[in-house]
């Protein structure tokens, strides 16, 4: 039986980003969802592992922000997640497909098969080439999973599940997905991640190198001598929208920052194009429907229009306000696409 939190609420979806910990809790509203609580907690040590002190601080924030219960769903940290696209026998052959996938994933990542927590799903057959049955597998060692969950359990939380971040984003964005190939670009702090979805299955996932907001943030600070608050203000309020005409230090700084953002995006989009080329070569009969932007970087003003023009496709930014009822005082907070993954995590129990 699936248990719910107090007053019919979902588990709390907790997304541990490198710069912020994001959390969301939902309740059913007709055929959809209503966000009942949402929060973002800045991390004191973005480069460090989560510790009990940080989890204790998170618990206090959740209590003050109106979250109910102690049941949470977490995403496996990216650096602990092992993935692979594997060739396996057909499901109807009678072969132990999941066991074969587990063994192959363990071989690729040089660990023992019985040391893994693993999930796998069938991929749509490619449009050409030899007939093979492929699955995508994702796993985490028991040791890493237990250590991560224990950090929260020891502070009074009940970890209901460890999810896959890409699957949480797909689950949250389900209301705006279509039948063709959809690209999901999660623009996070440390890196951008691209997920390709076809026939309701994640068929490809890739971390796009030094493409996160943090490398851009550091480069701007180093080159222009700007402080973190000033950079945050420029990225959050001005972005790459056409700048004001004028002269002086502020205007020159804006133009310099805008140029650095555009160069950073151009490098990222080169990698996106390579991934899209892979998808279209595998599934030639399917069209690329659109690209969906989530994550903190998706909120940079002008970024949606720039990517749409550069890739010549429809681009849509998805925040909790686009996929759930976020009325009242939560509306402004839920307009942030950085919170989208935490909504998907909160939906895990019914996913």
* pLDDT for residue 3: 40
- Residue 128's pLDDT band (boundaries 50, 70, 90)? low
- pLDDT tens column, 230-262: 888 888 887 887 655 554 456 677 778 888 899
pTM to 2 decimal places: 0.91
**223 Cβ contact partners less than 8 Å away, ≥ 6 residues apart:** 256, 260
Q: Is the pLDDT of residue 263 over 80?
A: yes
pLDDT at 179 over 80: no
**What would the mean pLDDT of 272-295 be, rounded to a whole number?**
86
Q: Given this model, what pLDDT does residue 121 score?
A: 93
What distance in Å separates the CA atoms of residue 209 and residue 197, rounded to the nearest whole number? 20
Q: CB of 106 within 8 A of CB of 112?
A: yes
Q: Tens of pLDDT along 74-105?
A: 999 988 999 999 999 988 888 999 999 999 99
Three-state secondary structure readout of 249-280: HHHHHHHHHHHHHHHHHHHHHHHHHHHHHHHH
Asked if pLDDT for residue 5 goes beyond 50, the answer is: no
Per-residue pLDDT, 339? 97
């Amino acid at each position: 039986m699936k248990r719910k939190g107090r007053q019919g609420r979902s588990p709390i979806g907790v997304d541990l980003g490198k710069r912020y910990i994001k959390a969301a809790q939902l309740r059913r509203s007709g055929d959809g969802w209503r966000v009942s609580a949402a929060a973002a907690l800045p991390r004191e040590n973005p480069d460090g592992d989560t510790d009990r002190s940080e989890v204790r601080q998170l618990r206090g924030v959740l209590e003050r922000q109106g979250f109910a219960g102690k049941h949470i769903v977490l995403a496996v940290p990216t650096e602990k997640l092992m993935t692979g696209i594997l060739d396996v026998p057909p499901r109807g052959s009678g072969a132990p497909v999941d066991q074969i996938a587990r063994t192959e994933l363990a071989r690729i990542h040089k660990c023992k098969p019985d040391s893994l927590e693993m999930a796998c799903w069938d991929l749509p057959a490619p449009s050409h080439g030899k007939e093979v049955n492929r699955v995508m597998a994702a796993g985490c060692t028991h040791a890493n999973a237990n250590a991560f969950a224990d950090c929260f359990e020891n502070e009074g939380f009940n970890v209901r599940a460890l999810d896959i971040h890409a699957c949480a984003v797909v689950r949250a964005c389900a209301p705006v997905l279509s039948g063709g190939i959809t690209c999901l670009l999660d623009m996070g702090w440390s890196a951008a991640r691209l997920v390709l979805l076809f026939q309701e299955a994640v068929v490809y996932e890739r971390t796009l190198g030094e493409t996160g907001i943090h490398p851009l943030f550091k480069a701007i600070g180093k080159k222009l001598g700007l402080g973190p608050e000033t950079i945050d203000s420029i990225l959050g309020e001005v972005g790459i929208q056409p700048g004001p005409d004028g002269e002086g230090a502020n205007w020159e700084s804006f133009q310099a920052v805008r140029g650095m953002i555009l160069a950073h995006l151009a490098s990222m989009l080169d990698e996106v194009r390579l991934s899209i080329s892979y998808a279209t070569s595998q599934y030639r009969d399917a069209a690329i429907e659109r690209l969906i932007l989530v994550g903190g970087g998706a909120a940079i003003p002008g970024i949606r229009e720039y990517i749409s023009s550069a890739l010549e496709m429809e681009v849509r930014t998805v925040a909790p306000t686009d996929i759930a009822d976020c009325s009242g005082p939560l509306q402004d907070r839920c307009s942030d696409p950085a919170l989208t993954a935490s909504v998907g995590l909160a939906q895990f129990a019914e996913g």
